[in-house]
Chain A
Amino acid sequence: MAAEKKSVGIIINPIAGLGGRVGLKGSDGADTVERALALGGKPESPLRAGKAIEQLLEIKDKIEVYTYGGPMGEEKLRELGFEVNVVGQPAAEKTTAADTIAAAKKLRDAGVDLIVFAGGDGTARNVCEAVGLEVPVIGIPAGVKIHSAVYAINPRNAGLAAKEYLEGKIQTLNESEVMDIDEELFREGRVSAKLYGYMNVPASGSRIQNMKSGGGSEEGDLAGMAGHIVVNMEPDTIYIIGPGSTTRSIMEDLGLPNTLLGVDVVKDKKLIASDVTEPQLWEMIKDPERKVKIIVTVIGGQGNIFGRGNQQISPRIIRRVGKENIIVAATASKLIALNYQPLLVDTGDAELDEELSGFIEVVVAFGQTSVYSVSS
């Protein structure tokens, strides 16, 4: 029965990675693509995608494969010997971001269990815009810019993770960050990655971690961390809840709706404002008599606690609240994944960054914290 078969959707961004070898930073935008081709850039994305997709050959009779037309998947899959269902065609010979978005939406509508896409951070943003958390995804790293946690460490591992997920060997999904260079800052001459959203990624890397824990799993730590913060919440105090899936678990513990990429405000365990702007926030807390605390998490793999995706919590707000009223929440695994790098603050106010530097206590699980270095 067809319904019993797992199905996978494949998207290849055929121009991803084009700019890398010829010294262009990324391939976003039609002009860049033209220049890259003119400079002798060769499309490496299909090759890298192939290395991932090969891993699925062994189970090809047990799965349904959906993809997009021509260079966006169909060609590579047929070359490898897959039977494919093509859900649509790119609008023109030279594919664009709009094609990636359209492809992801059509694959979602086809009801696929998993989308595997090859590209870079730009591609991840497009897929995220199209399907968000609706369909699990695995990224095949093929682009120049890879800041997003949705990508496997190499194409082969992306394929293996997809295979194991489709076979049911991996059942846990991790909400992973979609990051890209912040173009506004980039134009100002500052290179920094920005958080654009989250997608669900099969937990291939942490699978073993979950297995070995026996009661100390990542999920357990996250729930415990949230519980710890909630039971220690003080009355008549405004809690500014920063963005991210870690802080969302606190809102879930409170039974409150949450803005994943925005700042919410809680008082006496009730939601008093959602997705606030900086001025709105300032209005709520400027009264110096008011007790206020900030709860933020750490951006996975990067270490930022201020200045990435939570700019609403501006320097004047952080100063008003004070370092002693900042609660940082992140599981131990998240701290370990920083690879020994300190936590980072980049509020845009050098003096404040300096004040926040040093050490900060991080809530890692119920009744458990860590003390970790902070640097600007």
Chain B
Amino acid sequence: MADIKSVQLRDFHALRWEEPVIMEMDVPGERGVLVPAAEEAVEKEVGDGVSVLGKLKRKKAPAIPEIAQSRLIRHYTRITAENLGSDNSLKISDGTCTTKYNPKVQEHLAAQHPGCTEVHPLQPVETMQGVLEVFYGMEEILKAISGLDKFSFQPGGGAHAVNSNASVIRAYHKSRGDHKRTEIITSIHTHPSNAATPSLNGFKVITLIPKENGLPSIDEFKAALSERTAAFFFTNPEDTGIYNTQIKEYTDAAHAAGALCSYDQANGNAVMGIARAREAGFDLCHFNLHKTFSAPHGGFGPGCGAQGVRDFLAPFLPKPTVEFDGSKYYFDYDRPQSIGKVRSFYGNFQAVLKAWMWCRTLGPDGLKEASVIAVLNNQYLVKQIMENVPGVSLPWDRGQRRMEQTRFSFMKLKEETGCGIEDVNNRIVDYGVPEIWESHHPLTVEEPFTPEPCESYSKEDLDYYAKVLMTVAQECYDDPEMIKGAPYKASKHQSLNAFAEEYEDIATTWRQYKKKFKK
């Protein structure tokens, strides 16, 4: 282990532009693009192109800001440069999110190859065989990694995939005439979408509270199971980084009660090539291609929650599925039991493409090695943090090692200095390190934080990260008042935490803002 005391921290200062909101930059009459006039032949067909809309034509122009191209580019370039992202900082801070390096060859291909950029979802299937081959190939890879039998790439994110799995579960029980199964069981340290999306699907949610080892109790789990249980939704390792070695006992008990088991593998970074959903007894799972599989993140936008199931659930997956008849690929819409479409067309092809390239680059051995390094990295960082950072504690510490991420607590720091994780986060950005993800709700430890040093980071990166954390924690002891005024070198000063404010005091859209504050 390196002695991080000798690690030299670099000077850092963020850009600060105080950019206005894009809606405030509106200058009536300014244009970013001058749309060319329609060709004569087109005009002959549709006239001015607007009057054909008839009643569909909106009465008022949309409130889109009018901005010249140069100002627009300046605006977005500036706010991009103000960011601390995975390309300019140690995104180790973003625990549970697996923000790994996004290889640029993947980004270039997806953004520039005409076979990707010029393809239209409605063009004949024969003319996009390459695209379908990528979908099909990625499905084969995920089948091998999970041991499950069929995948859909339609969900645009992790929660979307869990929701879609909940819909499959509902459809499955309904198809068997089993209408009593109205409950699902999950745990607090499993991502909250595993409670939220079954709830959206009409299930009652039973949430298990962790015990001294950070895990739910198998006895309480068994007591919660009944003929009303539709499914068990679980993450393993959970958000805490603790792996539940008893998992097969849970899934066996669930199956004995007639329930299905759904595995949230949004973050599957600890177990690729090491442990599979199938052997652990799961019937459904999902992988976030924008986490474990190196595609970039982006809240229900460019992401993909690949949803996988065992064969007996395959008829319920979203349609169409991608099939191969031995000579050509095609979309199968003839799936009468399908829960239907969950997103337009086929999902985010670009995320699937990037993930497929990544897997093909690494190969099976490389994928396993990525998981091994991710876990090793985390265990190294845990040791550096526990030995060097004052005020830190490791909750549920019973000697077991953490997997790919770790939930720590700064409770001791808070008690001894008055500075907690919110203060550390205000200061850590002064060192060019993004604020650390704390925890999902509700908190099970006070002052929590959860770093995740995936395989993209070198030993030097981990030492640097631990040194920054050590320095900030020490500053909390030496000069808490300075910490309370932080950050000093970031692009923004102590931005408002909208979640903490009264609804009346915040606006989440421009229209709301105008209504509430510009009367």
Could you tell me which A residues sit within 8 Å of B by CB distance? Answer: 55, 153-154, 156-157, 160, 205, 207-214, 216, 218, 221, 331-333, 335-336, 340, 358-359, 361, 364, 367-373
Contact = CB atoms under 8 A, between A and B. Distances in A.
A371 B497 contact: no
A255 B497 CA distance: 33
B204 A368 contact: yes
B189 to A, nearest CB: 11
A368 B205 contact: yes
Contacts of B444: 336
Given A213-B441, A332-B209, A371 B224 contact: yes
Interface stretch (B154-162, B215-223, B243-251): B215-223
A367 B205 contact: yes
Nearest to B421: A208
A144 to B, nearest CB: 21
Interface string B246-282: 0000000000000000000000000000000000000
Contacts of B442: 209, 213, 216, 218, 221, 331-333, 336
A216 B440 CA distance: 10
Contacts of B497: 211
A373 B422 contact: no
Nearest 7 Cβ contacts at the A-B interface? A359-B223, A371-B224, A211-B500, A214-B499, A213-B441, A216-B441, A368-B205
B415 interface: yes
A26 B518 CA distance: 59
A48 to B, nearest CB: 15
Interface string B330-345: 0000000000000000
Contacts of A372: 209, 220
A209 B499 contact: no
B192 interface: yes
B208 interface: yes
B208 to A, nearest CB: 6
B223 A212 contact: no
B220 A373 contact: yes
Given A212-B439, A371-B224, 10 more contacts: A153-B415, A207-B500, A208-B420, A209-B442, A213-B442, A214-B441, A216-B442, A336-B444, A368-B195, A370-B208
Given A340-B211, A340-B212, A373-B217, A210 B500 contact: yes
A212 B418 contact: no
Contacts of A216: 192, 441-442
Given A367-B199, A368-B205, A370-B207, A205 B220 contact: no
Nearest to B446: A205
Interface of B: 188, 192, 195, 199, 204-212, 217, 219-221, 223-224, 414-415, 418, 420-422, 438-444, 446-447, 497, 499-500
Contacts of B212: 340
Given A154-B415, A214-B499, A336-B444, A369 B209 contact: no
25 contacts: A208-B443, A209-B441, A209-B442, A210-B500, A211-B500, A212-B439, A212-B440, A216-B442, A221-B442, A331-B442, A332-B188, A332-B207, A336-B442, A340-B211, A359-B224, A361-B224, A367-B204, A367-B205, A368-B205, A368-B207, A369-B207, A370-B207, A371-B220, A372-B209, A373-B220
B247 to A, nearest CB: 18
Contact of B443 (A209, A221, A368, A369): A209
A164 to B, nearest CB: 9
| A208, A218, A332: most-surrounded residue (chain B CB, <10 A) | A208
A146 to B, nearest CB: 15
Contacts of A370: 206-209
A55 B417 CA distance: 11
Contacts of B221: 371
B499 A211 contact: yes
A298 to B, nearest CB: 12
A364 B223 contact: no
Contacts of B422: 208, 211
Given A156-B415, A340-B211, A369 B420 contact: no
* Chain A CB within 10 A, most for which of B205, B415, B438, B441: B441
A368 B187 CA distance: 12
A276 to B, nearest CB: 31
Contact of A364 (B199, B207, B443): B207
Contacts, number: 95
A212 B208 contact: no
B54 to A, nearest CB: 41
A115 B90 CA distance: 45
B499 A212 contact: yes
Max count, chain B CB within 10 A of own CB: residue among A55, A154, A218, A364: A364
Which of A154, A205, A210, A332 has most chain B Cβ within 10 Å? A332
Contacts of A55: 418
Among A211, A221, A370, the most chain B Cβ lie within 10 Å of the Cβ of: A370
A24 to B, nearest CB: 28
B393 to A, nearest CB: 14
A170 to B, nearest CB: 10
Contacts of A332: 188, 207, 209, 442
A210 B208 CA distance: 21
A213 B209 contact: no
A369 B205 contact: yes
A218 B421 CA distance: 20
Contacts of B223: 358-359, 371
A100 to B, nearest CB: 27
Contact of A371 (B195, B208, B499): B208
Contacts of B208: 370-371
Nearest to B224: A371
Contacts of B438: 208, 212
Nearest to A339: B212
A97 B217 CA distance: 45
B220 A359 contact: yes
Contacts of B209: 332, 335-336, 370, 372
Contacts of B420: 208
Nearest to B499: A214
Contacts of B441: 209, 212-214, 216
Contacts of A210: 499-500
A280 B337 CA distance: 58
A216 B192 CA distance: 10
Nearest to A360: B223
B191 to A, nearest CB: 13
Contact of A359 (B204, B219, B418, B446): B219
Nearest to A55: B418
B206 A371 contact: yes
A217 to B, nearest CB: 8
A138 B180 CA distance: 49
Given A340-B211, A368-B205, A160 B499 contact: no
B299 to A, nearest CB: 13
A309 to B, nearest CB: 23
A369 B206 CA distance: 5
